[in-house]
Amino acid sequence: MTWRDDLTLPERHLGLVQAGEHGDLEAFFDRAAALVADDEAALIRLARPWAGNGGRASAADGVAPLPPLGQRIAVADDEAFAFRYPHVLDGWRAAGAQITPFSPLADEGPPADADAVYLPGGYPELHAGRLAANGRFLEGRRGAAGRGAVVFGECGGYMVLGRALVDGNGESHAMAGLLPLETSFAEPKMRLGYRRAALAAEGPLGAAGTGFRGHEFHYARIIEEGPGAPLFQCSDASGHDLGPAGLAEGRVMGSFVHLIDGEGDG
């Protein structure tokens, strides 16, 4: 098979540029589908069916879904906050939670009746100036925390919960200030790997010691973190202790770990 320049996708520091940022993605898929159709039999030979639960993980497979953060969960959803697992949101819905998306880049805050706010990972460092200027978004998060809602940030979402985010040009932008955290992208350094994350104390995610499986992949550096209580005690995929991770202050919490599921029995 020859190299096809028309089937390449642009990249950035965390992988491919997100689908929502492509202007002609359907045409790209049409070209890719036509190429695959030329040798469909070879693709089928490479495929291996999974004998599990119709291709879906369940508690019977040793997987424990993440507990819902609340009954009405507001989820940040735009080009700055797009790194979320669909199975996590599906699990929350299956548990009876209502999921409502909102766009920080459009200066939207979480709904006033949300009892939880989830800020997933993404590229806030590419939009730091815009986020810092979006008062309704920042005040909406502060208001949610002030009325006792759970506020949970992962990776990029964690960075935005902090006091400041330094972008790639070295400019510092004020963030929500809900956690004593300052991060920087001015001198990027990669952190990558699977993680076991055990809750350091009881909180909205469960009892102290509750374990989760997740991963960490970012280039941001921590300039200042704390003082404050850690959210997790972490180890890597080989079981090596990585020490405390993240911060928790009341019902506001976050870390650089993207949670995948609970440890279950598998």
Q: Letter for the amino acid at 49? A: P
Residue found by looking up tokens 């800020």 in the block: 119
**Taking the CB of residue 97, how many other CB atoms lie within 10 A of it?**
19
C-alpha distances in Å from residue 215, one per residue of 38, 42, 55, 85, 218: 37, 32, 21, 12, 10
Structure token pair of residue 59: 């508690």
Q: Which residues pair with 37 in a beta bridge?
A: none
Q: How far is it, in rounded angstroms, from Cα 155 to Cα 141?
A: 17
Q: How far is it, in rounded angstroms, from Cα 110 to Cα 104?
A: 9
Q: Which residues pair with 138 in a beta bridge?
A: none
155 is catalytic: yes
Q: Letter for the amino acid at 238? A: S
The residue from 155, 199, 247, 260 that is catalytic is 155
Closest listed residue to residue 158, CA positions, set 120, 184, 204: 120
Q: How are strands ordered across the β-sheet holding 247-249?
A: 98-102, 72-76, 116-119, 150-154, 252-255, 247-249
235-246 residues labelled b (16+ CB within 10 A) or e (exposed): beeeeeebeebb
Structure token pair of residue 28: 């790209």
Which residues carry out catalysis?
155
